[in-house]
Amino acid sequence: MDVGFLGVGNMGQPMAGKILDAGHSLVIFDVNEMAMQPLLDRQARRAASPRELGDTCETVFVSLPTLKILRDAVLGPGGLIEGKRIKLLVNTCTVGVPLVQEMEAACAKRGITLVDCPISGGPDGARAGTLALMVSGDAQAIETVRPLVAKWGTKFVVAGDRPGAAQVLKLTNNILFAVSLVAACEAMVMGSKGGVKPDVMLDAINAGTGRNHATAFIFPKSVVTGTFDFGAQLHILVKDVDLAVEQGEALGVPMWLCQTARLIYKHALFEGRGNADISRLIEFVERGAGFEMPRAKPTHAQK
């Protein structure tokens, strides 16, 4: 099957690579030539534009970083859905319900089926094939997608029969992650300033009730090592936090704690740190505490 992939950055590149692993022919487009090169080296073919991707492939996956970039590349003039061949569009981006509904309506006018398929697990999960996939849309279209993404991860959850349900599920996941990252940063700085070594804290926390994604993965890999290389930028997470808070408020749900965490992330953006790795959130807590948590010297492999 000829499969298209629009956007092959930190997440899209390993995901597209696993489609190649499954033996499918792959056509790709990204504005970043360097991002495409590893896939081109593996015999993927290059499209000259999003529209050419839609002219070439019946099934196209999209992985793009912001709502504006997604809207322009998919719905704008010369966008993906103007392609003559595309019949199935799979959105892997976290963009919220309103934009997905806008995409669904635009696709329907052109006879294109939209499957909503946001993913969770970060760049490491994309590379390892351990992502969680949250899917919603037409049941038959979902079954068409399932074998194509089988190498992305082992958890494939159908959230509903309309695009948008998977967005609600993904935002629920992401706001929990975002709040827990803030809490982990504050707790780890508190414990460290109180005299407990970071590795000792993580050993206990990850065997106890405080364990979360930040303590299990982000801190051991990217914070205590001082490498700050988790692979996700702060502005992307802030986009998800904004969408989650807006979703909760639209449903009449009080988002008190989430709003508090949001302010901390916004502070980082106001300081011009939007492109920083999310693991560097610890630095804002350290500054407030007047204390820097000890970092282990990176090993040769980490360098």
Backbone φ, ψ for residue 117 (5° rounding):
-145, 60
The domain made up of 2-161 has a fold known as: Rossmann fold (3.40.50)
Asked if residue 303 has pLDDT above 60, the reply is: no
| 250 bridge partner residues | none
Asked whether the domain spanning 169-289 has the same topology as the one spanning 2-161, the reply is no
Per-residue pLDDT tens digits for 48-89: 999 999 999 999 999 999 999 999 999 999 999 999 999 999
Give 169-289's CATH code, choosing from 2.40.10.10, 1.10.1040.10, 3.10.520.10, 3.30.200.20: 1.10.1040.10
- How sure is the predictor about 296, in pLDDT bands with cuts at 50, 70 and 90? confident
**pLDDT at position 67, please?**
95
Minimum mean pLDDT among 184-188, 283-287, 298-302: which range? 298-302
Neighbouring C-beta atoms of residue 24, cutoff 10 Å: 16
Helix (H) or strand (E) holding 159: strand 155-160
Per-residue pLDDT tens digits for 142-179: 999 999 999 999 899 999 999 999 999 999 999 999 99
List the structure tokens of 301.
């492999």
Asked if residue 301 has pLDDT above 50, the reply is: no
Report the interhelical angle of 97-109 vs 67-75 (nearest 10°).
Answer: 0
**pLDDT at position 83, please?**
97
Nearest CA-CA partner of 75 in 45, 112, 31: 112
| 288 bridge partner residues | none
Q: Please compute the mean of the pLDDT values over residues 248-255 and round it to a whole number.
A: 96
Neighbouring C-beta atoms of residue 232, cutoff 10 Å: 18
Backbone φ, ψ for residue 264 (5° rounding):
-65, -45
The answer to whether the predicted template modeling score (pTM) of the entire model surpasses 0.85 is yes
Asked if residue 118 has pLDDT above 90, the reply is: yes
**pLDDT at position 300, please?**
41
Query: With the C-alpha atoms ordered 263, 209, 231, 133, is the resulting torsion angle positive or negative?
Result: negative
Nearest CA-CA partner of 164 in 112, 107, 116: 116
Question: Residue 114 carries which DSSP code?
Answer: E
Percentage of residues in the chain having pLDDT higher than 70: 98
The domain locations on the chain are 2-161, 169-289
**pLDDT at position 297, please?**
63
| Rounded Cα–Cα distance for residues 228 and 266 (Å) | 19
Block residue for tokens 């390993």:
14
- How sure is the predictor about 299, in pLDDT bands with cuts at 50, 70 and 90? very low
Q: Please compute the mean of the pLDDT values over residues 256-260 and round it to a whole number.
A: 96
- How sure is the predictor about 2, in pLDDT bands with cuts at 50, 70 and 90? confident
Q: Say whether 226 sits in a helix, a strand or coil.
A: coil
